[in-house]
Chain A
Amino acid sequence: MNAPFEGIGASVRRKEDLRFISGRGNYTDDINRPNQTHAVFRRSDRPHATIVSIDTAAAKAAPGVVAVYTAEDLAAIGGLPCGWQIHSKDGSPMAEPKHPVLAEGKVRHVGDPIAVVIAETKQQARDAAELIAIELHDLPSTATVTDALKPGAGQVHDNAPGNVCYDWHIGDKEATEAAFARAAKVVKLDLENNRLVPNAMEPRVALGEYDRHTGDYTLFTTSQNPHVIRLLMGAFVLGLPEHKLRVVAPDVGGGFGSKIYHYAEEATVTWAAGKLGRPVKWTAERTESFMSDAHGRDHVSTAEMALDAQGNFLGLRVNTLANMGAYLSTFAPAVPTYLYATLLAGTYKTPVIYAEVKAVFTNTVPVDAYRGAGRPEATFLLERLVDTICHDTGADPIAIRRQNFIPKDAFPYQTPVALQYDSGDYFTTIEVAMKNADYAGFPARQAAAAAKGKLRGIGISTYLEACGIAPSAVVGSLGARAGLYEVANIRVHPTGSVTVFTGTHSHGQGHETTLAQLVTSQLGVPFSQVDIVHGDTARIPFGMGTYGSRSLAVGGTAMVKAMDKIIAKGKKIAAHLLEASVDDIEFADGSFKVAGTDRAKTLSEIALTAYVPHNYPITEIEPGLDETAFYDPANFTFPGGCHICEIEIDPETGVTSIVNFTAVDDVGRVINPMIVEGQVQGGVAQGIGQALLEHAIYDSNAQLLSGSFMDYTMPRADNLTNISVATENTLCTHNPLGVKGCGEVGAIGSPPAVINAVVNALKNYGVRHMNMPASPEKIWGIINAGRKAAE
């Protein structure tokens, strides 16, 4: 009997599931250290205020309290750093106000931490935190970009006049103006991209520990990138060298971007652990997550397309205001610029594009990358604009897209906004999606729905994303303060089993399975004999972590490079043992063979020889079989595809139900189809959530109104339907696996498909556009107003 195929292309069941379904996961909150204390933060309940006084005496005297700290105590440590610097149009660097670990002199958003109480138990810390007397003097506050830019608006930071962080642009302004000047038609659309709360199911946790014997610090934290946290916190905040600081991110319960960033609580517990000589643990309550985890999206934009008389896109002009929140989170400045405006060509050959982006401070939680990060905003803008062109001109949504797609033979394709797409085929993904969605059968289904009194609509979206982040030199020239390569260490043990140490991090993506499949395919080692280790700076040489759909394209490639070294070394050992020339040794299916003969050595035999080098070319090569590779990608990768959504609206309630959702994506080579399908389904669910349900709402004074699961509508099982997922892949041309990435495509492609369907369903009610979420309240209002007008 043949062993089951467990290499590239097999839907292998996940290794990690056995512990997760049995309750044996090891999440950060499951970790407790001897003599541990508990931290509770006292946070601002005001959006913007001067701190007049803080009286901690009563809290310090409360039972079980070990320490109470405020900004005064942290005077010697730095602020939380920002990892990306954008320059404005005029060449000046962005305003980069200090982001103190604990509020210094002012609070700037609801949830801004003011003090921390450390006590023997969590209950004692919580009780004592309430005893801190804080006197605040309210200042004028703003929640939206439009309010923050008004003359006389409250100033979030003294060194960011007018609340502007930067005023940036990209593209050829003059050429774009010229295209508009000769256009037969210009279609303009004002639109907003709603603010979201990422809400990974596991709240953030940080546990700091100090070893008085060695002087070493350890931070256990819910992070997508422990090495990045070590670098940011060690070098910029606490002044600790890397060799004295270990960061461990064990099982992490979802991230979606929100666990990329270095947060104040991580620095506080690590610092306090050193100060107290005892472990300090903080676990967020969900209410804290809502007001302290970085939020996502929050753009206000105007988009204009210039068209010729035949419907060809001549030029695109975009103006976007992006909400940064009260402070700059780690990657925040990059999101509305290099992850957004560079994507505005989308799937289209629009010859000239000009985009202006103004980033604005407000008295809200910092905004940063959330699944898709910039690319969903670009896709929503473009795909809503294309459907609005159809609305205004009567063009067919399929025909106009096909007419303007980048032709199949145009790759590599240089866009007018910096990116060069290496591969793609938008004609195939749209065709297969239309077939899978039975697009042609829609009118009949619409008529059947109408007979039942329901409004049925269909919407299409095509998208392009840039991921596999990222070539270091390119992002460096664009303002990144880090390199974005990845690292893999492949250790072949003496008996032939393999441990992979990867700098990427799995928090749901299934790396322990997918990455093991790579080893099974490349080295021929049985799947059960491969373990993947991630999330510990003490075990893994280095790494930049997981975000931007980079783990396989960048981290997987680093593994391939390390395995190439293993094979090259193995060939030398095999040549020695088989008394052949190295050039005659071939490696396939786990064995080194002399070409054209049946003389061979298995990888296990070679490994044993490498570690027991009795008969070994010891003067030429070192013992051992353990190789590391750093890989810096040559370009981004460019997944793309087509999503089609079919919805039904109940006119009595305004409730929208998703009746069919079809995704056809080009994600490059697929390693595990089951996992890819799951990633797309999950991404689509978040996109549907954004389109129909989710919205982080602040009132006009910047109080957070949707601050719990009671107020913020998370997608539940009965809000969604089965999601049809298929892939039609073209291979990435610049990495050896041909992989592109699949983690974000669902959240990027789906929101405009949903809204295009809602607008389509409401076409008889004069609806040209609707901002997200398309809530029952909004829709019922439109339908009811239409009814009243008809009466």
Chain B
Amino acid sequence: TVNGKSATIEVEGRTLLVELLREKLGLTGTHVGCDTSQCGACVVHVDGESVKACTMLAVQADGSSVLTIEGLAKADGTLHPMQEMFREHHALQCGFCTPGMVMAAVDLVAKNPQGLSEHEIREGLEGNLCRCTGYHNIVKAIDAAQPLMHARAAE
């Protein structure tokens, strides 16, 4: 499934997951910012794990459940707390790295219910590049999303 909907597509063996998402499914929220798996603009979740979609073949996702930035908000449009906090803390400027950054941050916070320090958040973002913000406000947004996400998980 992709964002909760089942999708059956025939692809060439060399098609990357990100190409499938962008070109076959029209999910253009996932971006491509490099060709060496360095920038993280293409991060999506595959079976709950954050993955650089430029580094995975589409066929490897056969039978998996994929979540992209388009599927992160609730069906009624309510934004995920990470999305809310990115907006609240001005954690994006051009917006190009944002989908990957948000998806990576959601996984980072979800995997660390004990809470992360500023330093740990910075280390956790090692795989995502942003050229606009200097990361300052991204770190603030992720920090602010932590209690909101943990409270939501506890519900």
| Residue ranges of A at the interface with B (Cβ–Cβ < 8 Å) | 13-14, 16-25, 27, 29-30, 123, 199-203, 251-254, 256, 285-287, 507-510, 674-675, 677-679, 681-686, 708-710, 714-718, 720, 722-723, 746
Chain B residues, CB < 8 A from A22: 29, 69-70, 72-73, 79, 83
Tell me the bound Cα distance from A677 to B133 in angstroms.
10
Cβ B95 vs Cβ A18 within 8 A: no
Answer whether A253 and B134 are a contact pair too, CB < 8 Å, given A14-B90, A201-B41, A708-B35. Answer: no
A675 CB to nearest B CB, Å: 7
Cβ B36 vs Cβ A256 within 8 A: no
Answer whether A709 and B134 are a contact pair too, CB < 8 Å, given A254-B93, A254-B94, A678-B93. Answer: no
Which residues of B (87-130) have their CB < 8 Å from a CB of A? 87-88, 90, 92-99, 102, 118-119, 121-123, 125-126, 128-130
Chain A residues, CB < 8 A from B137: 678, 681
Chain B residues, CB < 8 A from A679: 93
B39 CB-CB contact with A under 8 Å: yes
Answer whether A675 and B90 are a contact pair too, CB < 8 Å, given A23-B27, A254-B131. Answer: yes
Cβ B138 vs Cβ A27 within 8 A: no
Answer whether A200 and B94 are a contact pair too, CB < 8 Å, given A17-B86, A23-B99, A123-B14. Answer: yes
Q: Which of B69, B70, B73, B94 is close to A201, meaning CB atoms less than 8 Å apart? A: B94
At the interface, is chain B mostly helix, strand, loop or mixed? Answer: loop
* Nearest neighbor of B71 in chain A, beta-carbon distance: A23
Tell me the bound Cα distance from A511 to B33 in angstroms.
23
Cβ B96 vs Cβ A254 within 8 A: yes
B146 CB-CB contact with A under 8 Å: no
Q: A253-B94, A708-B38 are in contact. List 5 more A-B contacts (CB 8 A).
A: A285-B35, A714-B129, A716-B135, A720-B122, A723-B136
Answer whether A720 and B131 are a contact pair too, CB < 8 Å, given A23-B27, A202-B94, A508-B95. Answer: no
Chain B residues, CB < 8 A from A723: 134, 136
* Nearest neighbor of B103 in chain A, beta-carbon distance: A23
Cβ A202 vs Cβ B87 within 8 A: no
A673 CB to nearest B CB, Å: 10
Q: List 30 A-B contacts (CB under 8 A).
A: A16-B95, A20-B92, A21-B92, A21-B98, A22-B69, A22-B70, A22-B83, A23-B29, A23-B30, A23-B68, A24-B29, A25-B29, A30-B28, A199-B131, A201-B31, A201-B41, A201-B94, A201-B132, A285-B35, A508-B93, A678-B90, A679-B93, A681-B136, A682-B133, A708-B36, A709-B39, A717-B125, A717-B138, A718-B119, A718-B126
B20 CB-CB contact with A under 8 Å: no
Chain B residues, CB < 8 A from A746: 134
Using a Cβ–Cβ cut-off of 8 Å, how many residues does chain B contribute to the interface with A?
A: 55
Cβ B90 vs Cβ A682 within 8 A: no
Interchain Cβ contacts within 8 Å, total number: 179
A655 CB to nearest B CB, Å: 15
B61 CB to nearest A CB, Å: 18
B58 CB-CB contact with A under 8 Å: no
Cβ B38 vs Cβ A682 within 8 A: no
* Nearest neighbor of B118 in chain A, beta-carbon distance: A722
* Nearest neighbor of A251 in chain B, beta-carbon distance: B95
Which 10 A-B pairs have CB atoms at the shortest separation, nearest pair first? Answer: A23-B29, A253-B96, A685-B134, A20-B95, A508-B94, A709-B38, A23-B69, A508-B93, A30-B28, A717-B125
Tell me the bound Cα distance from A18 to B29 in angstroms.
12
Chain B residues, CB < 8 A from A685: 133-136
Cβ B125 vs Cβ A716 within 8 A: yes
> Which of A14, A30, A200, A253: most chain B CB closer than 10 A?
A253
Answer whether A507 and B34 are a contact pair too, CB < 8 Å, given A199-B131, A201-B131. Answer: no
* Nearest neighbor of B83 in chain A, beta-carbon distance: A21
Cβ B132 vs Cβ A254 within 8 A: yes
Answer whether A716 and B134 are a contact pair too, CB < 8 Å, given A20-B95, A23-B30, A27-B31. Answer: no
Cβ B123 vs Cβ A718 within 8 A: yes
Tell me the bound Cα distance from A536 to B34 in angstroms.
27
* Nearest neighbor of B130 in chain A, beta-carbon distance: A201
B126 CB to nearest A CB, Å: 6
B66 CB-CB contact with A under 8 Å: no
Chain B residues, CB < 8 A from A677: 90
B12 CB-CB contact with A under 8 Å: yes
B17 CB-CB contact with A under 8 Å: no
* Nearest neighbor of B89 in chain A, beta-carbon distance: A674
Cβ A23 vs Cβ B34 within 8 A: no
> Which of B14, B32, B34, B97: most chain A CB closer than 10 A?
B34
Tell me the bound Cα distance from A201 to B129 in angstroms.
8
Tell me the bound Cα distance from A685 to B33 in angstroms.
19
Cβ B86 vs Cβ A720 within 8 A: no
Chain B residues, CB < 8 A from A717: 121-123, 125-126, 128, 130, 135, 138-139
* Nearest neighbor of A26 in chain B, beta-carbon distance: B28
Cβ B87 vs Cβ A18 within 8 A: yes
Cβ B87 vs Cβ A21 within 8 A: yes
Chain B residues, CB < 8 A from A199: 131
> Which of B30, B38, B102, B132: most chain A CB closer than 10 A?
B132
Cβ B126 vs Cβ A716 within 8 A: yes
Cβ B86 vs Cβ A682 within 8 A: no
> Which of B32, B96, B97, B137: most chain A CB closer than 10 A?
B96
Tell me the bound Cα distance from A652 to B30 in angstroms.
41
Answer whether A714 and B83 are a contact pair too, CB < 8 Å, given A201-B41, A709-B34. Answer: no
Chain A residues, CB < 8 A from B96: 25, 27, 200-202, 253-254
Cβ B79 vs Cβ A21 within 8 A: yes
Tell me the bound Cα distance from A370 to B36 in angstroms.
24
A510 CB to nearest B CB, Å: 7
Chain B residues, CB < 8 A from A30: 22, 28
Tell me the bound Cα distance from A714 to B32 in angstroms.
17
Chain A residues, CB < 8 A from B87: 13-14, 17-18, 21
